[in-house]
With several copies, the nearest count.
Chain A
Amino acid sequence: MSDMDFKAIIAARAALELQDGDIVNLGVGIPTLVVNYLPEGREVFMHTENGLLGVGPTPAPDHVDPDLINASKLPVTQTVGCSFFASDESFAMIRGGHIDVTILGALQVDTRGRVANWSVPGKPILGVGGAMDLLIGAKRVIVTMSHTDRNGNPKIVEECTLPLTADRNVNVVITDLAVFKVEPQGLVLTELLSGATLDEVTAKTGARFDVKLVETTTG
């Protein structure tokens, strides 16, 4: 499976989590691809923490406005009915619970559904960005990530070895192999993606999880 394939699978599945009318904040990486997989007719409103509600698709190269970027610092467009605001107001929206869903990448997820995604081992900590605010503020948090790291090691682990981003658990974890819902008791495997088997997912997951498989919707 190519790198693009696995990202597409994750993004397509994540798109199904978005409900009509949702206010959505997308993190860097795979999350930015989610907009490409929205079901026909589903209207969601994209928020970016640098101050825009109503982020539109990537512009053609000759239509780039240098003053119009998303939180990944990539050029975007604005939708009809959008609004601009300052960073402090944007984070007031985030912390205040006005964002319905945020989709974020992660380096590790623990058995309780808590994530580590801001600090890389062995490197000085020089960036945190808005991840901590999004994690504590968004009504629902969806994590999208590859099931294992580039060395094949599980990213879903009993306890994160990297520092946690928040003490709050996320709601859904979507990888190229599986979907986990986070219930009060911890991770629950609900779907297998990409033709993965339960044995394969179990082997590649470093944390306990319950299994309550429902019908797979993609992959």
Chain B
Amino acid sequence: MRNKVVTKEEAVSQIRSGSAIMVGGFGQVGTPLLLIDELLRQGQRDLTIISNNVGEPGRGLGLLLEHGRIRKAIGSYFTSNPVVGQHYLRGEIEVQLIPQGSFSEAIRAGGAGIGGFYTRASAGTTLAEGKEQKVINGQLYVLEYPLVADVSLIRAYRADTLGNLTYRKTARNFNPVMATAGKLVIAEVDEVVSPGDLDPESIVTPHLYVDFVVQRGMM
């Protein structure tokens, strides 16, 4: 039977400079820190990062930012890392800001083959400037386009060797939806089990979305 478990070195070596990379996590919870550290070590640069936050100073995506590896960030809340603001003001990073609900929905659209969707969020605000708007049933909606990535780095709790995934508590957040929208999907997990060990009713990410599984705590 196929086995998608590989080393972090092997998985991350599939990522090229210039890639658009989705990274799961809300704050640092549910963030694939091992994969990010390996990406830092391997040296890929000129990255577009699609992530709700860009880490913290000296931690997670914050490290990639400080090392000048990130060209552009797409997400909803970068304020929590002051380094983003410094890089932005120096013109070292491009930023695209989307309401958090539109952000997660755009990723879902990317994974689900939806060409675009209308949401009320941001309609009539400065954040919608330059976007197509449409009145539907008397209410103003904004057209948002799907987000997709070359690679999705996600953090799950348990994987089976086929690549089925479950998550833990609020570490789930953006991970399952990002698993649907990357051409290459790498999952960092706490535990690897055999097919059949995960309840088929409780698998959150079916294996068809996952390319590689990297187990934490393994060399």
Q: Which residues of A contact B (CB under 8 A)?
A: 20-21, 23, 43, 45, 47-54, 65-71, 73, 78, 80-88, 90-99, 119, 123-133, 136-137, 163-168
Closest residue of chain A to B81 (Cβ to Cβ) is A126
Residues in B with CB closer than 8 Å to A167 are: 123-125, 140
Q: How many residues of B contact A (CB 8 A)?
A: 68
With beta carbons under 8 angstroms apart, the residue of A50, A52, A88, A132 that contacts B177 is: A88
- Chain B nearest CB from A43 CB (Å) reads 6
With beta carbons under 8 angstroms apart, the residue of A43, A84, A136 that contacts B170 is: A84
Residues in A with CB closer than 8 Å to B80 are: 73, 127
Minimum-distance CB pairs A-B, first 4:
A95-B113, A81-B195, A127-B79, A133-B101
- Cα(A202)–Cα(B169), bound, Å: 47
In the complex the two chains form, is B101's CB within 8 Å of A91's CB? yes
Main secondary structure of the interface of A (DSSP, over half): loop
In the complex the two chains form, is B127's CB within 8 Å of A128's CB? yes
Q: Let me know if B208 is at the binding interface, CB within 8 A.
A: yes
Q: Let me know if B153 is at the binding interface, CB within 8 A.
A: no
In the complex the two chains form, is A83's CB within 8 Å of B206's CB? yes
In the complex the two chains form, is A91's CB within 8 Å of B125's CB? no
Closest residue of chain A to B157 (Cβ to Cβ) is A67
Residues in B with CB closer than 8 Å to A124 are: 85, 88-89, 95
In the complex the two chains form, is B79's CB within 8 Å of A96's CB? no
- Cα(A52)–Cα(B107), bound, Å: 20
Q: Let me know if B22 is at the binding interface, CB within 8 A.
A: no
Q: Let me know if B30 is at the binding interface, CB within 8 A.
A: yes
- Chain A nearest CB from B64 CB (Å) reads 17
Q: Let me know if B1 is at the binding interface, CB within 8 A.
A: yes
- Cα(A68)–Cα(B76), bound, Å: 20
In the complex the two chains form, is B204's CB within 8 Å of A66's CB? no
In the complex the two chains form, is B78's CB within 8 Å of A92's CB? no
Q: Hey, what's the 0/1 contact readout for B55-96 against A, CB within 8 Å counting as 1?
A: 000000000000000000000111110001100110000010
Residues in A with CB closer than 8 Å to B111 are: 92, 96, 98
- Cα(A136)–Cα(B122), bound, Å: 8
Residues in A with CB closer than 8 Å to B26 are: 50-51, 69, 71, 73, 87
Residues in A with CB closer than 8 Å to B177 are: 86-88
Residues in B with CB closer than 8 Å to A66 are: 29
- Cα(A68)–Cα(B209), bound, Å: 23
In the complex the two chains form, is B124's CB within 8 Å of A86's CB? no
